Amino acid sequence: MSAFKMTDTVGAVVARSPTLARVFEEAGIDYCCGGKKSVASACHEKGLDPLSFLDTLEDVALRATHEPDVDAATLTLAELADHIEQTHHAYLRAELPRLDRLSRKVAAAHGGRNPRLHELHDAVVALAAELSSHMLNEERILFPLVRQIEACGDEPMVEGGQLAHPIRQMELQHDQAGSALVRLRELTDGFLPPPWACNTYRALLDALASLERDTHQHIHKENNVLFLRALELERRVARDSPNVIAAVHGVRDVIAEAGETSGPEVAATMRIVSVIGRRNAGKTSLVVALAAELGRRGRSVMTIKHGTHPPDMDRPGKDTWRHWHEGNAQRVLMEAPGQRVLLERTAERSEDPVALARRYLGGADIVLVEGGTRASLPKIEVHRVASGSPVIFDPAVDDAAWWLVMLTDDIAYRAPFPVLRFSDQEWLTRVADLAWAGAARVPGRGTAAARAAARRRA
């Protein structure tokens, strides 16, 4: 009996027998982004006889004598994430700078004879930037979530759907990388060197062919194995354990001891992140948009606005103004239907935003701080070319580990952390994903999720 069927998806075949990836590559069949197509459909699209192709798969599977590739289906999710980082990410970090150098050198030497080489270099640089950002997104957001969910085992979860957003973004980026690889192949006539190609030219084409093979395997292991299994595990854990708190990205909303769960002071951890940028870069607009997006996801969002001058909450001569200015009260609490405002006299020096958040915003799921450039907080920087000012991040003095993402309209900007453009599809969704996953965790009053869980238990 044949081990493979016409109705098998291409991705499923390679997931079962990773060594068969070479057969699909030689036939020009995409088994990563196109992994959901059936073998029959993929063969018809390429003008191949499906029966003959199945025979080839059987023959190669039986005759394979070389060292087998890693069988992703046999690894735990954590092991697979580690494998991807240590194998494919490590390969890309070593190879992408080399490809940049080679493509630049070949374009400079032979671009006059083959003008497409200049476009090839630009395509390599663009792909390198996208893949670098993609790897950081996986390593900082998606893979830690996957490892945490798997580590929960049978522990219950309240917050399902944590993986849907980042996985959707990763798959979109995989599609973009697949299109970029197709373009590289087109620009090089299938990575075939012309008769006059020098050794560097040939080395570049060989390296690009290797990049295509490795990236196909990389995307396949994620799209067809890691992502599918992680989503299924998350659904199963959430379904089987609906009534206790979530463990998400290493942080738990901990319900207090029995008898203490009915009050608002449920022990929990809140998240805090700063939004920074030069004058007129759009910090406030980003905070407002980010707060709305996180609120749509059911998060309790609170904000801190750093200002350079004291605010007045009422007009001169009005009651609240008189309480504050004439009475010189230490604190003034203005109460109105649907709103409450506290004015408090403080020292001239601004207080640490974490201390402020813990004192006043302890019930938040996440606190967005507008400003706080020098605070020891994860940062989202926003930059617009029209502001006429450079970005705040300076690689000579700043630690890139503090930057979660740069949001900019400068298409040429590159950084050692994720860079998003305002022109990117769903940039707000991606920034919200990064903010939630990368925010600092600090002790606070019970968050909205923890209090809701406590009420259900009470």
Q: Give the pLDDT confidence of 445-456 residue by residue, as tens digits.
A: 544 554 555 455
Q: How far apart are CA 180 and CA 176, in angstroms?
A: 6
57 CB burial (10 A radius; 0-12, 13-18, 19+): buried
Helix extents (H) in 274-387: 283-296, 319-325, 353-360
Q: How far apart are CA 88 and CA 83, in angstroms?
A: 8
Return the structure tokens found at 237: 């854990």
Strand partners, 205: none
Q: What is the largest CA-CA distance in the chain?
A: 93
Cα–Cα–Cα angle for 129, 285, 430, rounded to 5 degrees: 35
The answer to whether residue 318 scores a pLDDT higher than 50 is yes
DSSP character at residue 351: P
The answer to whether residue 168 scores a pLDDT higher than 70 is yes
The answer to whether residue 218 scores a pLDDT higher than 90 is yes
DSSP character at residue 70: P
Q: How far apart are CA 428 and CA 2, in angstroms?
A: 48
Q: How far apart are CA 40 and CA 5, in angstroms?
A: 9
* The predicted structure's pLDDT at residue 290: 95
With residue 369 as reference, give the H or E element that holds it. strand 366-370
Indicate if the alpha-carbon torsion angle 282, 285, 291, 296 is positive or negative: negative
Residues written for the chain: 458
CB 375 within 8 A of CB 274: yes
Q: Over the stretch 182-199, which tens digit does the pLDDT of each residue have?
A: 999 999 999 999 999 888
* The predicted structure's pLDDT at residue 239: 57
* The predicted structure's pLDDT at residue 319: 80
- In the chain, what are the helix, strand and coil shares in percent, each to the nearest 5? 50, 10, 35
- What are the angstrom distances between the C-alpha of 103 and each of 100, 113, 192, 193, 207? 5, 15, 15, 13, 10
Position 402 confidence tier, pLDDT thresholds 50, 70, 90: confident
328: alpha, beta or left, given left = phi > 0 and alpha = psi -120 to 50?
left
* The predicted structure's pLDDT at residue 267: 35
Q: Over the stretch 18-38, which tens digit does the pLDDT of each residue have?
A: 668 778 878 889 887 788 899
CATH topology of domain 266-306+352-457: Rossmann fold (3.40.50)
Domain locations in the chain? 10-63, 72-240, 266-306+352-457, 317-349
Q: Over the stretch 119-156, which tens digit does the pLDDT of each residue have?
A: 999 999 888 888 887 888 888 888 988 998 888 765 54
Count CA atoms within 13 Å of residue 5 on its CB side: 4
The answer to whether residue 253 scores a pLDDT higher than 80 is no
DSSP character at residue 195: T
Backbone angles phi, psi at 272, to 5 degrees: -145, 135
Strand partners, 335: 340
DSSP character at residue 123: H
Q: How far apart are CA 273 and CA 95, in angstroms?
A: 33
Give how far the C-alpha of residue 438 lies from the chain's centroid of Cα atoms, to the nearest Å.
Answer: 10
CB 384 within 8 A of CB 411: no
Identify residue 129 by its one-letter amino acid code.
A
Q: Over the stretch 59-94, which tens digit does the pLDDT of each residue have?
A: 888 776 444 567 888 899 999 999 999 999 999 998
Strands of 158-310, DSSP E: 247-248, 251-252, 268-276, 301-305
What is the mean pLDDT of the segment spanning 409-425?
Answer: 87
What is the mean pLDDT of the segment spanning 327-336?
Answer: 82
31 CB burial (10 A radius; 0-12, 13-18, 19+): buried
Return the structure tokens found at 103: 């493509």
What is the mean pLDDT of the segment spanning 33-44?
Answer: 90
Q: What is the chain's mean pLDDT, rounded?
A: 81
* The predicted structure's pLDDT at residue 154: 55
444: helix, strand or coil: strand
Of 287, 294, 249, 270, nearest in space to 381 by CA: 287
**Residue 144: other Cβ atoms inside 10 A:** 17
Position 1 confidence tier, pLDDT thresholds 50, 70, 90: low
Of 355, 373, 371, nearest in space to 270 by CA: 355
